[in-house]
Structure formats: structure tokens, C-alpha cells
């Protein structure tokens, strides 16, 4: 998904790692970017809620097009359910992603869903 005035692309991923979920977003530049803020957090399918305490904010710069960096976080949900990773970005530095106050209508790129806890 292209964001931040089409200057970067986001590719979120969610995976089970032992007793936690690992949220990863690969951030690729399409142009030089002096400063961009990227966020990654968990959302749950069942109730349509987002797990605010899982949010991680990463500040990045890109000297040229084609560079890739990673923003990641690990979190153990306290409720069973289906979860996905959601990510968004904006140019410059900011505290919250675009649309954060408009949940559940907020936008961003999402990974596929994973069941938590995983079947044993």
C-alpha cells in the first residue's frame, strides 16, 4: 500500500512466535524522504477492536528510492480471537496515525488474520 503522498509503501505481516504475536511492517521508499512516522498495531476481527497498547511508532528517513526498513513489535493478546496487524504512516513526526480518532473507520494496510492463541 502506498502512503505518505505515495513516497513510501507498507507491507504488514503478522506471525506467531512462541507466546506472542510478532507484528512487522516492511517500509520501502519510492523517493527520498526526510522524515516519516510509521505505526504498527494489532486489531481484532471478532469485536472490531484495536489493541491500543500494542501500538509501536517508528521514525525513519530514506536517502533515496528503493530503500527498505522495518518497524516491528511483539505483543501477547490477553483475549482469544482473530488478530491482524494494521499499519499506517505520515510524513514528518506525529504522535498518532491518520484516522486514529475515527476508529473503526480508520484506514491503513492490514495483514491477514491469525488465531490467538494458536491451536496446539
> What's the gap between Cα 20 and its chain centre?
16
Report the CATH number that the domain containing residue 41 is assigned in CATH. 2.60.40.3230
pLDDT at res. 31? 95
The model's pLDDT over 92-115, given as tens digits with 9 standing for 90+, comes to: 999 988 878 876 666 678 898 999
Domain count of the fold of the chain? 1
In a domain? residue 114: no
Residue 85 in any domain: the answer is: yes
- Cβ atoms 25, 38 nearer than 8 A: yes
Within a domain: 88: yes
Q: pTM, whole model, 2 decimals?
A: 0.90
Q: How far apart are CA 101 and CA 40, in angstroms?
A: 16
Residue 37, domain extent: 2-95
Q: Which grid coordinates belong to 58?
A: 517508528
Query: Looking at the domain assignment, is residue 117 inside a domain?
Result: no
Residue 38: predicted pLDDT:
96
Q: Cis (ω within 30 of 0) for the bond into 104?
A: yes
Residue 12 within a domain: yes
Q: Is residue 111 part of a domain?
A: no
Q: Could you tell me if residue 20 is inside a domain?
A: yes
Reference 33, options 71, 6, 72; nearest CA is 6
pLDDT tens-digit readout, 15-68: 999 999 999 999 999 999 999 999 999 988 756 688 899 999 999 999 999 999
Examine residue 91 and state whether it is found in any structural domain, yes or no: yes
Amino acid at each position: 500500500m502506498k502512503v505518505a503522498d505515495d513516497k513510501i509503501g507498507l507491507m504488514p505481516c503478522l506471525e506467531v512466535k512462541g507466546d506472542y504475536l510478532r507484528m512487522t511492517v516492511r517500509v520501502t521508499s519510492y523517493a527520498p524522504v526526510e522524515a516519516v512516522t510509521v505505526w504498527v498495531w494489532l486489531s481484532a476481527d471478532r469485536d472490531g477492536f484495536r489493541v491500543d497498547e500494542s501500538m509501536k511508532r517508528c521514525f525513519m528517513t530514506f536517502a533515496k528510492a528503493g530503500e527498505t526498513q522495518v518497524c516491528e513489535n511483539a505483543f501477547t493478546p490477553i483475549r482469544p480471537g482473530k488478530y491482524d496487524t494494521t499499519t499506517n504512516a505520515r510524513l514528518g513526526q506525529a504522535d498518532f496515525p491518520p484516522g486514529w480518532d475515527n476508529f473503526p473507520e480508520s484506514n491503513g494496510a492490514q495483514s491477514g488474520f491469525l488465531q490467538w492463541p494458536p491451536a496446539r
